[in-house]
Structure 1
Amino acid sequence: MNTFQLTCFLTVAETLSFVKAARQLNVTQPAVTHQIRSLEEELNAQLFKRTTRAVEITQEGLIFLNDAKNVLNIITLAKKRFEEPVGDERQFFSIGCHSHNEVHLLPGILRRMTESCPTLYPLFQVVPFQHLYQLLEEGTVDVVTAFREKEQKKETGIYRELALVRMTGILPASHPLAEKEALDRGDLLTQRLILLDPQRCPDSLNAVQHELTTGRTVSDLFMCSSVDVCLTLVKAGFGVAIQPDFPSLRDPALAYIPIEGVEPLSYGAYYKSVTGKPLLKLFLQLCRDNFPVQPKC
């Protein structure tokens, strides 16, 4: 995946025309078509429906739209770091996350960082999983906070665990099951399950979701694009959401009940090296001492 592919995708999405996109980009139509096809092959998803009369963006294309914009913004900001006047004293620190929900874990950490570095300028990059690790490899982000992947490739970098996060069933506080100390598989079989779209969550969470949904019918499941959507459906009474439990992010209107027999997930930070990176070193130190989830014993 490269910036030209993303630019072609966004231009076609805006114009809904390969001809107009090629004209705007000052390239040939076959060149735009080739870039879109290459991108679709890499993502293993169809981004556009093409006929002789019209071009329509698919549901997969709509989902990828914000991701593509975010990736291009990240690259643009990275370039601008070196275009600013010499007098710019901002100290940029780029944090990669897989979901906007996880951003809410970090205000306390960043507040403490500014005590040591008043010119700190945090940048958040919320992009898909594989692309985020690619940005870490390229040095576009300084650190990625994420759940540890069981089959993570070595080239992703160094992983430092910050917390073990238990899996919970989330339901309205008034729900009959909210009084239980833990939910078993039998409890979950009586409820519709609200899950994150497998393309929008880590493999470790996907594995838990797959285990808990084996044998369930499609009508028993809701697939959501974000944690916020999951919680909205929970509040509306559509079922029980299966989510990792970050106590500092709990909604007081909901109950978070541990699920029996499901191992906690490791949550931590991926990075390449702290050598010559004082802000990264400070961030990791503060996370170790102040991360808002009970640390591993």
Structure 2
Amino acid sequence: MELRHLTAFVAVAEELHFGRAAKRLQMAQPPLSQQIRQLEKELGVQLFERNTRSVRLTSAGQSFLDPVRTVLADLDTATRAAKAAGRGEYGRVTIGFAGASTHETLPLLTRAVRAAHPALELVMKGQTYANVALAGVADGSLDLGFVRLPVTQPGVATRVIDEEELICALPSDHPLARRRRIPIAALADEPFVSFPANAGSTVRDATVRACEAAGFNPRVVQEAPDSYTILALVGAGVGVTLTVTSCQHIQQTGLVYRPLAGPPIRLQAALAWRPDNPSAALRTVLAVAEEALPTPEGKTPARL
């Protein structure tokens, strides 16, 4: 039984006239009649009662019609879905992100994708650190990741979407809080709250390098797994920290933010993906991201 036989059957069943059905199918009448005979032979039943004056469905034909229409409709749906997936309009893209630092960029991308391609499914995977998302992209468990540069993993492409600055967060009653800008050297004797040393945090790494450049090693008295906890501890008076400008939305009682004195210390946020990923849906999301999250004009290369 072939698809053309089913299509021919539905056309004749709906037209109840071989000539009109042949015209609808853009074919000659004799081949159409032959296809119906082949279908009846395959099924072992007569589907139409026909004579020189009329054509009508038999009871077997009546019973056969609705299921065949369902088959053809399902096939049409599957065909359209496959074509849409091939164009990247349908499918699934898994995105890894680290919470606090993507509170602005992630919604911009997801809303733009859903507005332009509502059939695309976005699966969000929250991570504590951006390097975890990067590892997921590298091993193929994630399609796309929000990361920070530098990225050294082979086979991973990146595009800068934002540039952040390192800033100081300190208790509101701290003597340094009265200053408009904080010299890093002024923090030499301060207790620090920071990410764990071996977690692979780019903010922790940038903090250490900035302090070392100012002539001291930060004295970390408390470690915490995420920016929300770190800044809560700072607000509680446990110590000071260096964080990034994207975390200033975290408002905590007893906490203030101050820019650092001197040339800005910049960290670049980026999207990361594998160019060898065959997903058309991923390519569609990357295209949307070009508009929703453009690379900043005149971006300054990362200092650290």
TM-score (norm 2): 0.56
> What is the aligned partner in structure 2 of residue 45 from structure 1?
none
CA contact (8 A) 1:94 1:124 kept: yes
- The CA distance in 1 between the partners of 2:181 and 2:245, in whole Å, is 13
SS in 2 for 1:166: strand
CA contact (8 A) 1:163 1:268 kept: yes
Q: After TM superposition, give the deviation of residue 258 of structure 1 in Å.
A: 2.3
- The CA distance in 2 between the partners of 1:282 and 1:295, in whole Å, is 23
- The CA distance in 2 between the partners of 1:200 and 1:187, in whole Å, is 26
Pairing of 1:166-205 with structure 2 (within 5 A): 166-173=165-172, 175-203=174-202, 205=204
> What is the aligned partner in structure 2 of residue 270 from structure 1?
272
Q: After TM superposition, give the deviation of residue 136 of structure 1 in Å.
A: 1.7
> What is the aligned partner in structure 2 of residue 230 from structure 1?
230
Pairing of 1:118-267 with structure 2 (within 5 A): 118-127=118-127, 132-149=133-150, 152-155=152-155, 157-173=156-172, 175-203=174-202, 205-212=204-211, 215-216=216-217, 218=219, 221-246=221-246, 249-251=249-251, 254-259=255-260, 260-261=262-263, 263-267=265-269
Per-residue CA shift, 1:158-178, capped at 9, x if unaligned?
A: 110112210011124554433
Unaligned residue ranges in structure 1 (runs of 5+): 1-85
- The CA distance in 2 between the partners of 1:102 and 1:279, in whole Å, is 25
The letter for the 1-side match of 2:244 is P
> What is the aligned partner in structure 1 of residue 69 from structure 2?
none
- The CA distance in 1 between the partners of 2:292 and 2:247, in whole Å, is 14
Q: After TM superposition, give the deviation of residue 207 of structure 1 in Å.
A: 4.1
Pairing of 1:46-65 with structure 2 (within 5 A): none
CA contact (8 A) 1:274 1:280 kept: no
CA RMSD across the alignment: 3.6
The letter for the 2-side match of 1:234 is V
SS in 1 for 2:180: coil
SS in 2 for 1:125: strand
Q: After TM superposition, give the deviation of residue 231 of structure 1 in Å.
A: 1.0
Q: After TM superposition, give the deviation of residue 116 of structure 1 in Å.
A: 1.0
Going from structure 1 to structure 2, the CA distance change for 1:217 and 1:144 (only over 3 Å counts) comes to closer
SS in 1 for 2:198: helix
Deviation larger for 285-294 or 241-250: 285-294
Going from structure 1 to structure 2, the CA distance change for 1:261 and 1:294 (only over 3 Å counts) comes to same
Percent identity, aligned pairs only, is: 16
SS in 1 for 2:121: strand
- The CA distance in 1 between the partners of 2:250 and 2:279, in whole Å, is 33
Per-residue CA shift, 1:31-57, capped at 9, x if unaligned?
A: xxxxxxxxxxxxxxxxxxxxxxxxxxx
CA contact (8 A) 1:145 1:267 kept: yes
Pairing of 1:21-100 with structure 2 (within 5 A): 91-97=91-97, 99-100=98-99
- The CA distance in 1 between the partners of 2:143 and 2:114, in whole Å, is 17
Q: After TM superposition, give the deviation of residue 234 of structure 1 in Å.
A: 1.3
Q: After TM superposition, give the deviation of residue 140 of structure 1 in Å.
A: 2.3
SS in 2 for 1:118: coil
- The CA distance in 1 between the partners of 2:227 and 2:243, in whole Å, is 8
CA contact (8 A) 1:147 1:202 kept: no
CA contact (8 A) 1:162 1:295 kept: no
- The CA distance in 1 between the partners of 2:117 and 2:165, in whole Å, is 33
Per-residue CA shift, 1:8-67, capped at 9, x if unaligned?
A: xxxxxxxxxxxxxxxxxxxxxxxxxxxxxxxxxxxxxxxxxxxxxxxxxxxxxxxxxxxx
Q: After TM superposition, give the deviation of residue 138 of structure 1 in Å.
A: 3.8
Q: After TM superposition, give the deviation of residue 238 of structure 1 in Å.
A: 1.4
Q: After TM superposition, give the deviation of residue 212 of structure 1 in Å.
A: 1.7
Going from structure 1 to structure 2, the CA distance change for 1:93 and 1:217 (only over 3 Å counts) comes to closer
CA contact (8 A) 2:160 2:295 kept: no
SS in 2 for 1:246: helix
Going from structure 1 to structure 2, the CA distance change for 1:161 and 1:103 (only over 3 Å counts) comes to closer
Going from structure 1 to structure 2, the CA distance change for 1:161 and 1:177 (only over 3 Å counts) comes to same
Unaligned residue ranges in structure 2 (runs of 5+): 1-77, 300-304
SS in 1 for 2:229: helix
Q: After TM superposition, give the deviation of residue 113 of structure 1 in Å.
A: 1.1
The letter for the 1-side match of 2:191 is R
SS in 2 for 1:198: coil
CA contact (8 A) 1:197 1:223 kept: yes
TM-score (norm 1): 0.57
Aligned length: 208
Q: After TM superposition, give the deviation of residue 146 of structure 1 in Å.
A: 0.8
CA contact (8 A) 2:163 2:269 kept: yes
- The CA distance in 1 between the partners of 2:125 and 2:181, in whole Å, is 35
SS in 2 for 1:144: strand
